[in-house]
Amino acid sequence: MIKAHPTDEMLRAFAADQLPVPLAVGVAAHCELCAACRNRVHQHETELAAEAFDEPLPAAFDDAGMSDMLDQILASPAERVPAPPAAQGWIEVDGERIALPGVLARHHQPTWRQLGKVRHQGLAFGQAAIRASLLHIAAGGQIPEHTHRGYELTLLLSGSMQDGGVRYQRGDFIWRDASVVHTPHTAEGCLCYTVQDAPIHFTRGLPRLLNPLAHRLY
Query: Could you tell me the CATH superfamily of domain 90-216?
Result: Jelly Rolls (2.60.120.10)
Q: Give 97: exposed, middle or buried? Use CB within 10 Å, 0-12, 13-18, 19+.
A: exposed
pLDDT more than 70, % of the chain: 80
pLDDT in tens, 19-78: 999 999 999 999 999 999 999 999 999 999 988 877 665 655 555 665 676 667 667 665
pLDDT in tens, 78-95: 565 554 444 558 888 888
First to last CA, the chain: 27
Distance from C-alpha of 131 to C-alpha of 212, rounded to nearest angstrom: 16
Distances (CA, A) of 152 to 45, 58, 112, 125, 130: 26, 41, 20, 16, 10
Q: Could you give the angle at which helices 35-54 and 21-33 cross, rounded to 10 degrees?
A: 120
- Model's pTM, two decimal places? 0.81
Per-domain residue ranges for the chain? 8-75, 90-216
pLDDT more than 90, % of the chain: 49
Distance from C-alpha of 159 to C-alpha of 94, rounded to nearest angstrom: 14
